[in-house]
Amino acid sequence: MTELTQLTLSEARDGLRKGDFSAVELTQAHIKSMETNRDLNVFITEVPGLAIERAKEADHNRSHGKAGALEGLPLGIKDLFCTEGILTTAASHILDGFTPPYESTVTANLKAAGAITLGKTNLDEFAMGSSNESSYYGAAHNPWKRKGDPRYLVPGGSSGGSAAAVAAHTCLGAIGTDTGGSIRQPASFCGVVGMKPTYGRCSRWGVVAFSSSLDQAGPMTRTVRDSAILLAVMAGHDAKDSTSADMPVPDFEAALSGDIKGLRIGLPCEYRPDGLNSDIAALWDKGVGWLKDAGAEVVDISLPHTKYALPTYYIVAPAEASANLARYDGVRFGLRIEGESLDDMYAKTRAAGFGAEVKRRILIGTYALSAGYYDAYYLKAQKVRQLIHQDFVSAFENVDAILTPTTPSSAFPIGENSDDPVSMYLNDVFTVPASLAGIPGISIPAGLSSDGLPLGLQLLSKRWDEETLFRVAGVLEEAAGFSGLSIGGEG
Amino acid sequence: MSLDDATVRKIAHLARISVAEKDIAPLAKELSGIMDWIEQLQEVDTSAVEPMTGGADMMLNWRKDAVTDGGHTDKVLANAPESHEGFFGVPKVIE
């Protein structure tokens, strides 16, 4: 039955509709794959028993003509989404044993549509990282390896477990969150499609908060069509998130017309710095060729404040994180280290419960918000963020979408970039600007590096125009003809 | 170095994260490295720029100021390390 794990999400959906196999068979095949891929450490918590129970219900629903849009499709859920009755860790020691008594809106939407949860996927602690190495539960591993090199590589981060789980065919699709590139960068490293929708498209309610003005949930899948199918279910207005958009959710799958004739695609010169990796530069050129061949018009554009995006992000995100993570104090849930006083208990609990990167960001954020520094750092960053946003607004007056590389490198060996925080931050140089601007972005696996690793191309569009993004992404995917990994195999 | 040891002690206290004395100096160096890199923002002219204060370019929704949920004491306390008679338990704060 292992061949069922070779199906895309849309093929599995159609197969279930036709009755070629049951949801129980489909789920069992993926549970098997989850077990054989345990060396990748992609799941923090597996829930095979619950999954089979749900699959039986799904088959029952279908036989009674009540199948939802995702009825019987097994998915991985980033362990940042609160799931009722299932351990939720954010990959942090400080949330030890936390079992949410409620369900996040996004996972509730998936559940209501009939999707099956296989387990909770690994991530960087509190989604802070670009390699999945900051997880308290150990690094997740990329199922791809360099040609002739047996070392495990990072899957990227923070949604590294989700990306690796999809690439290794342990689930049909997964959901992640993206704050500065946490869906798109791991998607690029693992050779899958990663979509960050417009800020406000998906409710943030019940998602463990990192940086509230940036966090956004999105799908991670093996195809663009699968991405469109999942996003349509995840998205939608939610009264419980005041920043969730009260506007209709389009039929994203219907946007995959394959026709991009006459669309204008921008190429920002700032994304081609001196010394850009030659494999990546060449792939970007190829991507331009594919879009031209499909009838798009390609134009050079400039996004002049691009170089300030990363330092801006490393004020805004830590500042918001320092406020959001103040709630972890050993009183209401998770870890508690006893102290001599209440204050001492807070300080000891937080010292033991947070890992090094999370502490760094809380301290940077605390500093940037502290008396005497607020204007110099936080307010300054908010102003530069406005300029970065305006760069995109101006660009989209002239183009329909923007094409860039997703990452400045391919996946790297575990431990390679962990000495210097700033060098790790540079992984997100091409993804952070769109996060700051709140615009949607998607990474498409488009080719392999000279040492045999997946590389992604990123498409960006203006706010609320995911349809154009999916349309162009579909064409790019078709032209690239990227083939992912076969079952549990090597790249 | 933009952050000295005293500043690191102060922000660690503000953030309620206990840091061992031997870790203060290395942490100051590490955080200074990050802040020195961030310093490049100062070269951007933002004199006529309004700050961008959120991720959404829209008006937030209003709702009636009314109770919409509640009465879940057991659920709220279910994950607490310590609770007594419907309250969270904490170390003694009054001598």
- A131 pLDDT more than 60: yes
- B95 pLDDT more than 70: no
Residues of A in contact with B41 (CB under 8 A): 308, 311-312, 315, 377, 380-381, 384
Note whether A350 contacts B18, CB cutoff 8 Å. Answer: yes
Q: Give the domain range for residue A335.
A: 1-491
- What are A392's two structure tokens? 């995109």
What ipTM goes with this model? 0.95
* Alpha-carbon gap: B12 to the closest alpha carbon of chain A (Å): 6
Confidence label for A282 from pLDDT (cuts 50, 70 and 90): very high
* Alpha-carbon gap: A175 to the closest alpha carbon of chain B (Å): 21
* Alpha-carbon gap: B14 to the closest alpha carbon of chain A (Å): 7
Note whether B91 contacts A386, CB cutoff 8 Å. Answer: no
How much of chain A exceeds pLDDT 90, in percent? 94
A121 near B CB under 8 A: no
B53 near A CB under 8 A: yes
Residue B54: the pLDDT is 87
Confidence label for A487 from pLDDT (cuts 50, 70 and 90): low
Note whether A370 contacts B46, CB cutoff 8 Å. Answer: no
Note whether B7 contacts A331, CB cutoff 8 Å. Answer: no
Regarding pTM above 0.90, the answer is yes
B47 near A CB under 8 A: no
| Residues A220-271 pLDDT 10s | 999 999 999 999 999 999 999 999 999 999 999 999 999 999 999 999 999 9
A239 near B CB under 8 A: yes
* A92-114: average pLDDT: 98
* Alpha-carbon gap: A368 to the closest alpha carbon of chain B (Å): 9
B25 near A CB under 8 A: no
Burial status of residue A416 (CB atoms within 10 A of its CB: 0-12, 13-18, 19 or more): middle
Chain B residue with CA closest to A200: the answer is B56
Note whether A246 contacts B61, CB cutoff 8 Å. Answer: yes
Chain B residue with CA closest to A434: the answer is B55
Average per-residue pLDDT for chain A: 96
| Residues A164-197 pLDDT 10s | 999 999 999 999 999 999 999 999 999 999 999 9
- B2 pLDDT more than 90: no
B91 near A CB under 8 A: yes
- Counted domains in chain A: 1
How much of chain A exceeds pLDDT 70, in percent? 98
Residue A488: the pLDDT is 45
- B6 pLDDT more than 50: yes
- B49 pLDDT more than 90: yes
A 313-352 residues inside an 8 A Cβ radius of B? 314-315, 322, 326, 329-336, 338-348, 350-351
Q: What is the CATH number of the domain that holds A469?
A: 3.90.1300.10
Residues of B in contact with A216 (CB under 8 A): 55
Residue-range domain boundaries for chain B: 5-40
B90 near A CB under 8 A: yes
Q: What is the 3-state secondary structure (H, E, C) of B56-88?
A: CCCCCCCCCCCCCCCCCHHHHHCCCCCEECCEE
- A379 pLDDT more than 50: yes
Residue B94: the pLDDT is 74
- B88 pLDDT more than 70: yes
Distances (CA, A) of A126 to A69, A211, A221: 30, 10, 22
| Residues A192-202 pLDDT 10s | 999 999 999 99
* Alpha-carbon gap: A326 to the closest alpha carbon of chain B (Å): 8
* B28-40: average pLDDT: 96
Residue A300: the pLDDT is 98
Positions of A annotated as catalytic residues are 78, 158, 182
Note whether A366 contacts B14, CB cutoff 8 Å. Answer: yes
Which of B29, B37, B41, B62 is the best residue to mutate to test the A interface, defined by the most A CB atoms within 10 Å of its own CB? B41
